[in-house]
A and B are shown apart, each in its own frame.
Chain A
């Protein structure tokens, strides 16, 4: 168990001990731990198009901390704060599917982990006369990936069109 895991573990104990009767709260915290695990390489995890996963206690939780989790109308959003300063948000449909992910910060998160099977679509965009280093928009099958920004401030998101719960405003997915 590395230091970050230990910190998270301590954090969970601190959170849960004052309210030992709140199993719901504890479960929510453990679910969040799983989400944090999702962002670390080499760990099976929550990824675009995949379900929120079960808790894994043996994960390596480097470079991440939970910031908040929030139920919104029609979906739930988890924000994970990376030590790099970059924030990652995962948007979960009522059926448990991660239908969108978003990032914002000085550098990108591990997108191979975050995008899963959709990572390669972003890795093979040809340079054309329309290309600059500030914008990319991909629409490929079910996937939409949009990113903008500049050095030291990069932002982006990816979502699956077929998985967006009804009533969700795309403008809110950031």
Chain B
């Protein structure tokens, strides 16, 4: 499906190149660079304390949703988390003031989703909306309305997937989430296999169901008319000790405009799980590793680094899952794509999590946490990876001058 859209974009580009009226082109003939267009493809992003005034290393943007077909029945919502580790736009129903229509299946049943995050699940109907971000628009896109009173009863098949129910802003930690990872859909095979993800709801209740691809939750970028083959996250460097209100850009499209042209970046392709291999501190490459704007720390297993101790005032604090070396460590790290390409000369810092977090900043490039040995994940390089970089995330099937998605490039 991506390739079809990419093809459409290609046609648009060709038409633009041959047309006089194309925006911003200047009419000076075909250049070797990307064709300019007039679409504003850059949204502002910020790492701040979030709606709960407690977020750490969490990237947010602002999204406008409209009732499909309307340009007036719209709502602009801030503090939507930008997540390269998930797919789809999800918004807490409690912040929605526009009424977005619920998708119905061919059976006539309403469609709902039980989105599974590692720490829990979010339940709500799949609605459709026109989405606007920066100057980009996507029409009639499936969006999850989390915690929507129109489908209040969570089926056992959803809650049994485990973890905490995250259907309010206070339990979710954001007003919504914008999943812009390197695939088009949030499920690889939900058109033929049930997962406890999608549910068909009738008055009698909701049952696990398969869903045609075009009704599943998409990475909304893939539904833009143009600039739909991926995103580029641009963030400034952050002081080692942390910073507040770190601002950057979320650029849509790769090689579709002058501001998102590929250059000489390192292209790391990822596997079907959006994963690659990462080696740190001169160790072995670890499989099941990933780069992820949705992770708040740099997570790995190193029993030689001192871990944090919970303070007496909060004996059950989750700070114990982070590292607390007495002196900041600088460790070499090598990231290897599935294409075999390896990064050169990268390092990351491991600071003392307790000391850092006491400062009450929002962004901490050296916050590192523990992955227990044998727990199935190698190295999770979270939002800290994106600080001081321009990271492109190309969707599967996207063909750019740098390579073919799915890939991360920087």
Interface on A for B, CB 8 Å cutoff?
A: 41, 63, 83-85, 102, 104, 106-113, 115, 119, 122-137, 146-157, 169-174
B16 at the A/B interface (Cβ < 8 Å)?
Answer: no
The A-B contact count (CB < 8 A) is 194
Inter-chain CA distance A128–B319, complex, in Å, is 10
Contacts of B371 in A (CB 8 A): 135, 148
Do B187 and A134 have beta carbons less than 8 Å apart? no
Supplied contacts A83-B194, A132-B295, A152-B274, 18 more A-B pairs, CB within 8 Å: A84-B193, A85-B188, A85-B189, A106-B189, A111-B162, A119-B162, A126-B164, A127-B166, A127-B170, A127-B173, A129-B56, A130-B317, A136-B118, A136-B119, A147-B119, A151-B116, A153-B273, A173-B374
Would you call the interface of chain B mostly helix, strand, loop, or mixed? loop
Contacts of B157 in A (CB 8 A): 41, 110
Contacts of A136 in B (CB 8 A): 118-119, 163
Do B376 and A148 have beta carbons less than 8 Å apart? yes
The distance from the CB of B339 to the nearest CB of chain A, in whole angstroms, is 19
Contacts of A174 in B (CB 8 A): 374-376
Do A41 and B292 have beta carbons less than 8 Å apart? no
Do A131 and B173 have beta carbons less than 8 Å apart? yes
Inter-chain CA distance A102–B374, complex, in Å, is 10
Instruction: Pick 14 A–B contacts, CB within 8 A, sort by A.
Output: A106-B188, A111-B162, A122-B164, A125-B119, A127-B170, A129-B54, A133-B86, A135-B380, A150-B181, A150-B295, A152-B187, A152-B188, A153-B273, A174-B376
The distance from the CB of B79 to the nearest CB of chain A, in whole angstroms, is 14
Contacts of A156 in B (CB 8 A): 118, 375-376
Given contacts A106-B187, A107-B197, A152-B274, contact A41 B118 (CB under 8 A): no
Do B87 and A151 have beta carbons less than 8 Å apart? yes
Contacts of B58 in A (CB 8 A): 132
Q: Which of the residues A63, A135, A157 comes within 8 Å of B119, measured between beta carbons? A: A135
Q: Max chain B CB contacts within 10 Å: which of A152, A157, A174?
A: A152
Give residues of chain B (203-240) contacting chain A, Cβ–Cβ below 8 Å.
none
Residue interface bits B138-151, CB-to-A below 8 A is 1, else 0: 00000000000000
Give residues of chain B (78-133) contacting chain A, Cβ–Cβ below 8 Å.
83, 85-87, 115-120
Inter-chain CA distance A107–B193, complex, in Å, is 11
Do B375 and A147 have beta carbons less than 8 Å apart? yes
Contacts of A119 in B (CB 8 A): 162
Contacts of B322 in A (CB 8 A): 130
Q: Which residue of B lies closest to A150 (CB)?
A: B85
Q: Max chain B CB contacts within 10 Å: which of A63, A149, A155?
A: A149
Q: Which residue of B lies closest to A124 (CB)?
A: B164
Give residues of chain B (43-63) contacting chain A, Cβ–Cβ below 8 Å.
52, 54-58
Inter-chain CA distance A131–B319, complex, in Å, is 10
Do B56 and A152 have beta carbons less than 8 Å apart? no
Inter-chain CA distance A150–B184, complex, in Å, is 15
Do B292 and A130 have beta carbons less than 8 Å apart? no
Do B179 and A151 have beta carbons less than 8 Å apart? yes
Do A134 and B288 have beta carbons less than 8 Å apart? no
Inter-chain CA distance A112–B154, complex, in Å, is 14
Contacts of B369 in A (CB 8 A): 135
Residue interface bits B13-35, CB-to-A below 8 A is 1, else 0: 00000000000000000000000
Do B118 and A123 have beta carbons less than 8 Å apart? no
B408 at the A/B interface (Cβ < 8 Å)?
Answer: no
Do A155 and B376 have beta carbons less than 8 Å apart? yes
Inter-chain CA distance A92–B186, complex, in Å, is 34
Q: Which residue of A lies closest to B170 (CB)?
A: A127
Q: Max chain A CB contacts within 10 Å: which of B120, B165, B274?
A: B120
B373 at the A/B interface (Cβ < 8 Å)?
Answer: yes
Q: Which of the residues B159, B170, B373 comes within 8 Å of A112, measured between beta carbons? A: B159
Do B292 and A111 have beta carbons less than 8 Å apart? no
